[in-house]
Amino acid sequence: MRTAKTLAEKIIGEHTGNGSASSGEIVIVKVDYVFSHDASGPLLISNLDKFPSGSTISNEEKRRTIFFIDHAVPAPTKELANDQNIVRNYAINNGLVLSDAGNGICHQVMAEDYASPGNLIVGTDSHTCTAGGLCSFATGMGATDISVAMKLRKTWLRVPESIKIDVGGELGRGVFAKDLILKVLSILGTDGALYKSLEFCGSAIDDMDVYGRLTLTNMAVECGAKTGLVQSDSRTRKYLEENRRGEGWRELFPDESAGYETEISLDATELEPEVALPSSPDNVRPVSEIKDVKVNEVFIGSCTNTRIEDMRVVARILNGRQKAKGLKLIVTPSSRKVYLKCIEEGIVELLLSSGAIVTPPGCGVCFGALGGIPADGDVIFSSSNRNFPGRTGNPKAQTYLGSPATAAATAINGYVSDPREFL
Amino acid sequence: MPGRAWKLGDNISTDEITPGRYIGLRSNLSELAKYTLIDTRADFVKGAREGDFVVAGRNFGMGSSREHAPVVIKLCGIRAVLAKSFARIFYRNAINIGLPAIICDTFKISDGDTLELELSEGYILNQTTNVRIEFPRMSKTMEAILQEGGLIPYVEKKGDLLLA
């Protein structure tokens, strides 16, 4: 058995009880945090009620069990309001943590308030892997798996093989983590990392702050991966300290001779702003190759982006300019904290003056359950993670994906545009 | 009992299996099931019979973790989903609710073919073409979960979450 470990093997190994885990092994692991939300919570809670009585959890475990109301807030229909009450009441009645409507998207709040390096986190959302940007082994599962994890504080996993994504050089002007992960998707495709862990490293990752790392790991699942991971270093420490959680920091790196199934080397310096064309996130072209694509709606939001650093870039690009005539511009900060910071820094005022609709924090337009549903034939440019057919609520609309910067430039011009024009 | 093959392509996402715009029906699963694959295969819900099969290409069920995706497929009477490969979360979810998800060479199956599944024997007989398609066994734990009808009955029987 190999002794040098990948990040996935290290973190899983710390949760098996015997201190070991090698890729390919099937193991039972203890979980540190378990969460669900309003879109899957009612199904999960119906499962919890099936469990025999007697399986009670400790107060510490209750503090590590979180229900988010984020997918459709404020509730647009009575059915969703009722579903949200099922979740809200279950959390309150059982002494679990409730992150109520308006508090933010589960993955953003997990990053701000809970996830720490070395944690093992499972949640009923495919983008649970976002917390890998803070070096948590985090993965999405369905309602049944998560109901078992909530009750028994453990789950089973196949220890994944890892794919090393080594990114040298540095990101240029107008090029962000989103462009990098879209480039990775264009190489791996939507199933190129099926069941695997993506491990990001190299000088461009060393230089990347946590907000960008969270964008990379968020879209690991778009490559089919079980999770995405980034080392825990001084930037991780800085992020945790800024969120008053410095005590949760620890250094965590993969071992030097860890075994990777594949290695992909990229030079960040060569990257351009990248765009995923309809209707798959791996259908990627550099923005310079996309000519004359008229856009009807721009969505700047989702768990992929819209942290405060993203909002600052959007503000720098808009900078007093108006959105294109007839274009719908919808901006959804990812959490209450981000929203407050946007107000404090004058970003909300600037957005409103440019003609944007600024909505409360939540999943928003991304998956078609709330406002911002496109009309037949509309083209959306979105900073989110998926552009599958029908994703945003209308199968007769089409979605392009790109960075918040590219989205902001597109909102000004009314067609898919290179943000470097404004930076 | 033989059933009909409903053939789909590669990379069918959960947004296509049960679109997010029907989220308001998630606490009314039999109603939600009426919109299964509505944008991809509009004739599926009306045509599917008890014991039929969903047959797909690569990476079936990619995207979100919504367990509603295998749940509505099962509610449409589907006996098993066959695909060249499955997205990770969909695969776990299907087994966890007792819906067999079988990795096999679906190239040898056309839409409308009549199939017979021999789960414990490890093969599918395409009665239309008289071709036998073998498939590898799933992991022991997944096989045991499926045998119990899903993860919750499995955990109840074992009294804990244990590997098989």
Mean pLDDT rounded to a whole number for chain B: 97
Which residues are paired to B13 by β-bridges?
B62
Asked whether the beta carbons of residue A369 and residue B21 sit closer than 8 angstroms, the reply is yes
Least CB–CB distance from B62: residue in A51, A125, A190 = A190
B130: left (phi over 0), alpha (psi -120 to 50) or beta: left
In chain B, residues with a C-beta closer than 8 Å to the C-beta of A143 are: 67, 93
Q: % helix / strand / coil in chain B, to the nearest 5?
A: 35, 20, 45
Rounded distance between C-alpha atoms, residue A305 and residue A309, angstroms: 9
Q: Which residues of B touch A (CB under 8 A)?
A: 11, 13, 15-16, 19-21, 23-28, 39-40, 58-59, 62-68, 71, 85, 87-89, 92-93, 96-97, 139, 141, 150-152, 155-156, 160-163
**Beta pairing class for A197-201 and A162-168:** parallel
Q: How many residues does chain B have?
A: 164
The reply to whether residue B152 touches residue A47, judged by beta carbons under 8 angstroms, is: yes
Closest by CA position to B37, among listed B62, B69, B66, B64: B69
Give start and end residues of each alpha helix (H) in A268-397.
308-318, 336-344, 347-353
CA gyration radius for chain B? Answer: 15
Instruction: Name the token pair of A35.
Output: 């969460």
Which residue in the set B39, B85, B151 is minimally distant from A148, CB to CB? B151
Please report how many Cα atoms fall inside a 13 Å half-sphere around the Cα of residue A393, on the Cβ side: 19
Lowest average pLDDT, out of A16-30, A43-57, B3-17, B55-69, goes to: A43-57
Q: Are B118 and B2 in contact (CB under 8 A)?
A: no
Cβ neighbour number for residue A25 with a 10 Å cutoff: 15
Q: Which residues of B touch A191 (CB under 8 A)?
A: 11, 58-59, 62, 85, 87
Q: Which of A40, A190, A373 comes nearest B67 by C-beta?
A: A40
The shortest CB-CB distance from A144 to any of B20, B151, B160 is to B151
Q: For chain A, list the domains and their CATH numbers.
A: 7-158 (3.30.499.10), 162-270 (3.40.1060.10), 275-422 (3.30.499.10)
Which among B59, B68, B141 has the least Cβ separation from residue A190? B59
Q: What is the dihedral of CA A378, A381, A385, A388, to 10 degrees?
A: 30
pLDDT at site A50: 79
Q: For residue A53, give the chain B residue with the closest CA.
A: B156
pLDDT of residue B95: 98
Q: What is the pLDDT of residue B105?
A: 97
Residue among A130, A116, A140, A115 nearest A36 (CA): A140
Strand order of the β-sheet with A379-382 is A284-286, A274-276, A398-401, A379-382, A297-300, A328-331, A357-358
Distance CA A412, CA B163 (A): 56
Residues A142, B20: C-beta atoms closer than 8 Å: no
**Of the candidates B23, B88, B152, which has its C-beta nearest A226's C-beta?**
B88
Chain B CA closest to residue A49: B152
CB contact under 8 A, A368 and B67: no
pLDDT of residue A52: 67
A71 contact residues in B (CB cutoff 8 A): 23
Residue among A229, A8, A199, A223 nearest A129 (CA)? A229
Please tell me the distance from the alpha carbon of residue A36 to that of residue A16, in angstroms, as a whole number: 23
Chain A residues close to B19, C-beta within 8 Å: 368, 390, 393, 395
pLDDT of B158 above 60: yes
- E strands of A103-242, at which residues? 120-123, 137-140, 154-158, 162-168, 197-201, 227-230
Contacting residues of A for B67, CB less than 8 Å apart: 40, 43, 124, 142-144
- A269, two tokens: 């310096």
Rounded to the nearest 10°, the torsion over CA A333, A136, B93, A99 is: -40
**Is A390 close to B87, i.e. CB distance below 8 A?**
no
Compute the Cα dihedral for A361, A70, A393, A380 and give only its sign.
positive
Percent of chain B at pLDDT exceeding 90: 99
Which residue, among A210, A200, A243, has the nearest Cα to A114 in the 3D structure?
A: A243
Cβ within 8 Å, pair A155-B62: no
Query: Which of B8, B12, B23 has the most A C-beta neighbours within 10 Å, making it the best mutation to test the interface with A?
Result: B23
Environment class of A56 (CB within 10 Å of its CB; exposed 0-12, middle 13-18, buried 19+): exposed
Distance set, CA A307 to CA A201, A215, A311 (Å) = 22, 10, 6
Question: Is the separation of the CB atoms in B119 and B100 below 8 Å?
Answer: yes
Domains for chain B: give ranges and CATH numbers. 3-135 (3.20.19.10)
Give B127 to chain A, closest Cα distance, Å: 31
What is the model's pLDDT at position A2?
66
- The pLDDT assigned to A1 comes to 57
Residues of chain A with Cβ-Cβ distance to B24 below 8 Å are 77, 79-80, 83, 369
Residues A361 and A334: beta-carbon distance below 8 Å: yes
* Among the partner residues B19, B64, B67, nearest to A43 by beta-carbon distance: B67
Average pLDDT rounded to a whole number, residues B35-40: 97
Q: What does pLDDT average to in each consecutive run of 10 residues of chain A (423 residues)?
A: 89 94 96 98 92 79 98 96 98 97 98 98 98 98 97 96 98 98 98 98 98 98 98 98 98 97 98 98 98 98 97 97 98 98 98 97 91 96 96 95 98 98 96
Instruction: Give me the amino acid identity at A226.
Output: K
Residues A269 and B147: their CA atoms lie apart, in Å, by 52
**Which residues lie below 8 Å from residue B61, measured CB to CB, with a gap of 6+?**
B12, B13, B14, B17, B69, B70, B86, B87, B89, B90, B91, B93, B94
Over 80: is that where the pLDDT of B88 sits?
Answer: yes
Tell which residue, A25, A33, A30, has the closest CA to residue A6: A25
Q: Which residue of A has its CA nearest to B89?
A: A141
pLDDT confidence of residue B8 = 98
Residue-level pLDDT at A54: 57
ipTM for this prediction: 0.98
